[in-house]
Structures are given as structure tokens and as C-alpha cells.
């Protein structure tokens, strides 16, 4: 048994693995909070099956002194909660992995002697306290202890966490936590484990949020006051977040009977002056497409959060993929402009979600926020949120008697009135219409109206956000990525240690910023990294810039890229 690897590390990857319903989430929630509160940087990510009980799920918590925010394959400490766990994460276990668990019960037959196991009789201890349900809290205590979290702080947090429960349950959980903490101290004292990740004094005061919260907070910051949606993993978390805060922020949050209803409600709400969004995933979004076209025709703003998961059809409902870019880009029949954002950092998600409402309102178009399961479920700590960069700009005008909803203007944008605000009437129409918003069969006007709608694309292009260059400006190889892979590729780039390789990340994927082509042309070699099977973003780049990316690293297993994987694939290519 060797612990040297862990001792040298300034970031530790802890993996909890067990069945759905076994309480991994409880362990995770307590641990991440207390670790952060005691000054560590925390990055949490997870992968799980589409079932409520059973199966094998895992959560990774990276505890680090560095500013990294991605998932790694490497497991430094594994806490297997059932027998299937070792199999489930099998490929990721190395001799350096410290397995904290019940040797007989859980590790058992899986061990050919090549595993580094620290036998902790979680269940036994828990049973002694009052039941196996407490074993998770024991495990929590062990980790807290190993990271030398202040004992009192830890126990206080446990008390707070269980404060909704009965007195005896709180007490037993405290006992379990204490017991775990003691075991850790024994392990440290005996030299079996010694962790020395440096604390970052700021972290304790940091904000800890996940992707879903980032989108939700951004939406509120952008003035969102209406969400209508139909549950669908992994997009539901945003509906849950805004529902929870609906009363506080005067938000109407309605679960619709289906996705079609959801988006048509949202369009109705915008028409009446609200700032509305929907949150959905691929299959649900497919049902919304007719109404995306309606938004195009009505020139209605709408914000669509599309959390991607592997398709086609139901596919892998709880997994991740970047497979719906083209779906969003070409959604809705007919031709009209749109904007597509794809946040890479949680901070981006806050900023972009808030921007989405302003831009939708300004340009009267659908604005997409493309995330995915990995992004929704990832969280890490950060000092602050970019709220100062945001701010609500409302474009609604007060109408007068002569108001015309579709007045022809040079940039294609007609001032948008809402019913009941001013003395004018507001008529919007899904048929081709005249300036007043009434059905027309005047085909010359039709052409003008198409031109008007498409003219807005120019306006939108002006506002396009530039891609972010990570690394030096004088690269010879350029890695291109978009959306949720930001941190992973960035960390992989760090591992590569090559000055000639840089990374260009797009958080706005449509329309592309005008500098895009010049970035690409500067490189001798361009490598696209995408979480899909057909390189959808590379196609989009080709379409928009004419640049053809030759080298691609694609993944479509349902799991996010790991840092190691990206490094290995890049090393092969470069």
C-alpha cells in the first residue's frame, strides 16, 4: 500500500460510486460545502443512469489548490458504496488509487491484490450507531477528517444539513460524522494517508453553484419573469431553480402539459411584455420547432435553454453530448435569424443567460443557450458572478394610435409595443403580414418582409461575442472547442506544456464573431474537439467561414471528455 501519489498531489480526485438511492448526493452535498468552507477549491461533476434506484452512479469531487474546473479520469480516493462500484469505475482505478471501503463486503472478489484498499467498516460502524443509513455520514466524516476540516465546523454543518429531520436522527448523524472523522485521524496518525492540498484562503467565502443554477441566476439577472416548460432531463433543474425562487422574484413558473404548450405560452408571455424562457432537451425541443418558426415570423423574442443529451430519440437521458447544435441552428421551417450561445464556464452561463434576454428583446428573435448534462451538473467555487457586466435593457416602446408592429426599418428591427401599454394596437401574425400585422398576399411585401427579417442578422453579427483564446497568440496549432468542454480542454492544454498550441473557445456559436477566420488561418494545424459523432461545429465553421477543419477529436459515448483523454488524443495528433 502506497500513499505517496496522494501526498504529492495538490489536487485530489475523490470519487463516490454506488447505486441510485444510496445517498451519494448527501455525501456530496455535505462534503463539497464543508471542504469549500474550509478553504479548498472544489470541482464536482457526475455521471448517472436513468433510474431512481439501483444501477451504478458516480460523483467526482476534485479538491484542489489550483484553479482547475474539469473532470479527470484519475481517481485518488475512491469510496465505493456497493459491490458494483469497483466494476463501474474499474478502468479508472490505478495502484495509486486509495480505496476507502469495506474490504470484505465491497472490494471482495474484485481485488487481486493490486488494489490499494483501506478497510473501513462503514456499515458496521453505522449499524452500531443505529442503522446502515448512517454509513454515508461516516464516509463523509472520514473525508472531512482526511482533509483536516475543522472538526467543530464540520459537525456544525452536519447539524445544519439535517436540521429538517428529527432530533434523534440529527444526533445519530453527528455521531456517525464524528466516528468517521476519528477514523481519518487514525489513518493520518498511522501514516496510511496524508493529504496536503494547500488551502486557498479566498475559497471559504466563494460562491458554489452548478450549471443549472448559473443559467437560472443569469436568467433572473436578465429580467426573466416567466418560465413555462415540461420536465425533461437534464434541463429540468433550471425549471426547478426558477420555480423555487418564483415567489421571491415575481416569476411565473408553469409546468405545461407538453413542450408545444410551453413554448407557445412563452411566446404569448413575451407578446404581453414578460421576459419568458423555456428549458428543454433534444426531444422536447424537437416538438418546439414549429413555434421557433413562429417566433421567427412574429419577430418575437424568446429564450430557449436547450440542455443536450445523447440522441437520437430518448437515447441516454441522463448522459451528456454536444449533439443538438445543428438542430438548434436549423430549427423551425422557413428562414429567420437566431443567436446560439454555448457557455463553457459557469460564469459564462450567468453572463450569457442574462444577455440572452436583452438580445432577444433587442433583435426580436429566438436566443438559444446550449448546455448539456455535464454542464448542468458541474459545479465549482468562484469569487463572484459577472453580474456587473449584465443589466436589464428593455426595448419595449409605448405605442401611439398610429403604431405599426412591423414598421419597415433600415436594420429590420421594428419598435416592439405590447398590448395595454400606450394607445396603439399590437397585432402579430404567423401568416405573412403587412406592417400593421395583418395577413397579406401582397407578394412584393412578402419579399420586403423576408428581407427585413433577415436584415436583423447583420445587426446580430455586430453584437457577436468573440471567441476566447487560451494560450499564446503565436500558436502553430489551434484547438477549437465550444460549450461545456472549455475547462477540460484548457486543463489538457496545460498538461501538454506546448507553447505552440493554443485553444480557441466559442461561447457564442452562432453567428460567429468576425475574427473567427483570422484565428483559424493563422494556425498550421487546427484540431476541433467536439462531444458528438459528426463534428457539427466544424461544419458550422466551414459554412460560416469557408474554413475546413481537418482534424477532429470526437466523443459520443455519453460521457464528457476527461482531461487525460484529451491530452492523449492530442498527443497522438500533434
Partner 1 sequence: MKRVPFDMGDIDIAWCPGCGNFKILDALKQALTELDLDPEKLVIVSGIGQAAKMPHYVRTNVFNGLHGRAIPAATGIKTANPELTVIAEGGDGDMYGEGGNHFLHAIRRNSDITNIVHNNMVYALTKGQASPTSTIGFTTPVQVGGVTEEPFNAIAVAIAQDASFVARAFSGDEDQTKDIIKEAIAHRGYALVDILQNCVSFNKVNTYQWFKENTYYLEDSHDPLNRIEAFKRATEEGKLPLGIFYRNPDKPCFEDTVPAYHTSRTPLFKRKVDVRKLQVLIDSKRSG
Ligand X SMILES: Cc1ncc(C[n+]2csc(CCOP(=O)(O)OP(=O)(O)O)c2C)c(N)n1
Q: Which residues bind a second copy (CB under 8 A)?
A: 49-50, 55, 260, 282-287, 289-290, 292-294, 296-298, 310-317, 319, 323-324, 326-327, 329-336, 430-432, 441, 443-444, 446-447, 450-451, 453-454, 532-534, 539, 542-543, 546, 548, 556-559
Binding of residue 315 to ligand X (CB under 6 A): no
Q: Which is nearer to ligand SF4, 52 or 443 (CB)?
A: 52
| Secondary structure of residue 234 in the 3-state scheme | coil
Q: Which is nearer to partner 1, 156 or 476 (CB)?
A: 156
- The residue count for binding ligand X (CB under 6 A) is 8
Binding of residue 313 to ligand SF4 (CB under 6 A): no
Binding of residue 152 to ligand SF4 (CB under 6 A): no
Q: Which is nearer to ligand X, 230 or 519 (CB)?
A: 230
Residue 228-247 contact track with ligand X, rule CB under 6 A, x = bound: --xxx---------------
Binding of residue 512 to partner 1 (CB under 8 A): no
**Omega into 234 within 30° of 0, i.e. cis?**
yes
Binding of residue 49 to ligand SF4 (CB under 6 A): no
Residue 273-312 contact track with partner 1, rule CB under 8 A, x = bound: xxxx------x------xx--x---x--------------
Q: Where are the alpha helices (DSSP H) in 92-235?
A: 122-129, 135-146, 151-161, 167-189, 211-221
Closest distance to ligand SF4 from the beta carbon of 21 (Å): 9
Q: What grid cell was written down for 59?
A: 460523483
Q: Which is nearer to ligand X, 31 or 304 (CB)?
A: 304
Residues between 413 and 452 that touch ligand X (CB under 6 A): none
Q: Which is nearer to partner 1, 8 or 313 (CB)?
A: 313
Binding of residue 199 to partner 1 (CB under 8 A): no
CA distances from 153 to 32, 157, 183, 369 (A): 13, 6, 17, 38
In whole angstroms, give the CA distance from residue 65 to residue 463: 37
CA distances from 342 to 229, 369, 385 (A): 20, 6, 17
Instruction: Find the radius of gyration of the CA atoms of the chain.
Output: 26
Binding of residue 317 to ligand SF4 (CB under 6 A): no
**C-beta separation of 447 from 408 below 8 A:** no
The one of ligand SF4, a second copy, partner 1, none whose footprint includes residue 480, by CB under 5 to 8 A per kind, is: none
In whole angstroms, give the CA distance from residue 481 to residue 553: 10
Pair type for strands 416-422 and 98-101: unpaired
The one of a second copy, ligand SF4, partner 1, none whose footprint includes residue 148, by CB under 5 to 8 A per kind, is: none
Closest distance to a second copy from the beta carbon of 81 (Å): 18
Number of residues assigned to the chain: 574
| Secondary structure of residue 11 in the 3-state scheme | strand
Binding of residue 155 to ligand X (CB under 6 A): no
**Omega into 58 within 30° of 0, i.e. cis?**
no
**C-beta separation of 193 from 118 below 8 A:** yes
- DSSP track, 50-66: S-SSEEEEEEEEEEESS
Q: Which of 7, 10, 54, 196 binds partner 1 (CB under 8 A)?
A: 54
Residues between 266 and 295 that touch ligand X (CB under 6 A): 283-284, 287
Short-list 83, 165, 78, CA closest to 130: 165
In whole angstroms, give the CA distance from residue 419 to residue 432: 21
Residue 35 C-beta-side C-alpha neighbours within 13 Å: 33
Binding of residue 186 to partner 1 (CB under 8 A): no
Closest distance to ligand X from the beta carbon of 256 (Å): 11
Q: Interface with ligand SF4 by CB under 6 A: which residues?
A: 52-53
Q: Interface with ligand X by CB under 6 A: which residues?
A: 230-232, 259, 283-284, 287, 314
Amino acid at each position: 500500500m502506497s500513499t505517496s501519489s496522494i501526498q504529492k498531489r495538490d489536487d485530489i480526485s475523490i470519487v463516490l460510486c454506488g447505486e441510485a438511492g444510496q445517498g451519494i448526493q448527501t455525501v456530496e452535498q455535505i462534503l463539497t460545502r464543508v471542504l469549500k468552507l474550509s478553504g479548498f477549491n472544489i470541482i464536482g461533476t457526475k455521471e448517472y443512469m436513468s433510474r431512481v434506484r439501483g444501477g451504478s452512479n458516480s460523483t467526482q469531487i476534485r479538491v484542489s489548490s489550483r484553479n482547475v474546473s474539469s473532470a479527470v479520469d484519475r481517481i485518488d480516493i475512491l469510496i465505493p458504496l456497493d459491490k458494483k462500484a469497483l466494476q463501474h469505475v474499474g478502468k479508472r482505478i490505478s495502484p495509486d488509487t486509495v480505496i476507502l471501503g469495506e474490504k470484505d463486503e465491497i472490494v471482495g472478489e474484485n481485488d487481486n491484490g493490486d488494489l490499494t484498499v483501506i478497510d473501513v467498516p462503514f456499515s458496521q460502524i453505522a449499524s452500531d450507531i443505529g442503522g446502515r443509513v448512517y454509513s454515508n455520514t461516516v464516509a463523509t466524516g472520514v473525508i472531512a477528517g482526511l482533509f483536516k476540516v475543522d472538526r467543530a465546523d464540520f459537525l456544525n454543518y452536519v447539524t445544519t444539513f439535517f436540521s429538517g429531520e428529527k432530533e434523534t436522527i440529527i444526533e445519530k448523524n453527528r455521531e456517525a460524522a464524528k466516528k468517521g472523522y476519528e477514523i481519518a485521524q487514525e489513518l493520518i496518525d498511522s501514516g496510511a494517508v496524508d493529504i496536503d492540498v494547500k488551502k486557498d484562503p479566498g475559497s471559504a467565502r466563494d460562491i458554489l453553484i452548478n450549471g443549472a443554477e448559473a443559467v437560472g441566476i443569469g436568467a433572473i439577472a436578465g429580467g426573466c419573469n416567466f418560465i413555462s416548460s415540461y420536465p425533461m432531463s437534464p434541463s429540468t433543474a433550471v425549471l426547478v431553480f426558477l420555480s423555487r425562487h418564483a415567489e421571491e422574484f415575481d416569476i411565473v413558473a408553469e409546468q405545461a402539459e407538453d413542450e408545444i404548450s410551453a413554448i407557445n405560452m412563452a411566446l404569448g408571455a413575451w407578446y404581453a411584455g414578460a421576459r419568458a424562457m423555456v428549458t428543454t432537451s433534444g426531444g422536447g425541443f424537437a416538438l418546439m420547432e414549429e413555434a421557433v418558426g413562429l417566433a421567427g415570423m412574429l419577430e418575437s423574442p424568446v429564450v430557449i435553454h436547450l440542455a443536450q443529451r445523447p440522441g437520437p430519440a430518448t437515447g441516454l437521458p441522463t448522459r451528456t453530448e454536444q449533439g443538438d447544435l445543428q438542430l438548434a441552428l436549423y430549427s423551425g421551417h422557413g428562414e429567420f435569424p437566431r443567436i446560439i450561445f454555448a457557455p463553457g464556464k459557469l460564469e459564462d452561463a450567468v453572463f450569457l443567460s442574462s444577455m440572452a434576454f436583452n438580445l432577444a428583446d433587442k433583435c426580436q428573435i429566438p436566443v438559444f443557450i446550449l448546455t448539456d448534462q455535464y454542464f448542468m451538473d458541474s459545479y465549482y467555487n468562484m469569487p463572484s458572478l459577472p453580474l456587473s457586466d449584465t443589466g436589464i435593457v428593455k426595448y419595449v416602446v409605448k405605442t401611439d394610435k398610429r403604431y405599426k408592429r412591423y414598421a419597415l426599418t433600415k436594420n429590420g428591427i421594428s419598435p416592439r409595443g405590447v398590448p395595454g401599454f400606450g394607445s396603439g394596437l399590437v397585432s402579430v401574425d404567423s401568416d405573412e403580414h403587412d406592417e400593421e400585422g395583418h395577413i397579406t398576399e401582397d407578394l412584393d411585401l412578402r419579399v420586403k418582409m423576408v428581407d427585413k427579417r433577415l436584415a436583423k442578422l447583420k445587426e446580430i453579427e455586430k453584437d457577436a461575442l468573440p471567441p476566447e483564446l487560451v494560450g499564446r497568440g503565436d500558436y502553430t496549432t489551434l484547438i477549437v472547442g465550444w460549450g461545456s468542454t472549455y475547462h477540460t480542454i484548457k486543463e489538457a492544454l496545460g498538461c501538454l506544456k506546448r507553447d505552440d498550441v493554443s485553444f480557441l473557445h466559442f461561447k457564442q456559436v452562432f453567428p460567429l464573431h468576425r475574427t473567427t477566420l483570422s484565428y483559424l488561418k493563422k494556425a498550421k494545424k487546427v484540431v476541433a474537439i467536439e462531444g458528438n459523432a459528426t463534428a457539427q461545429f466544424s461544419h458550422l465553421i466551414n459554412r460560416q467561414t469557408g474554413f475546413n477543419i481537418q482534424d477532429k477529436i470526437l466523443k459520443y459515448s455519453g460521457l464528457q471528455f476527461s482531461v487525460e483523454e484529451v491530452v492523449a488524443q492530442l498527443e497522438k495528433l500533434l
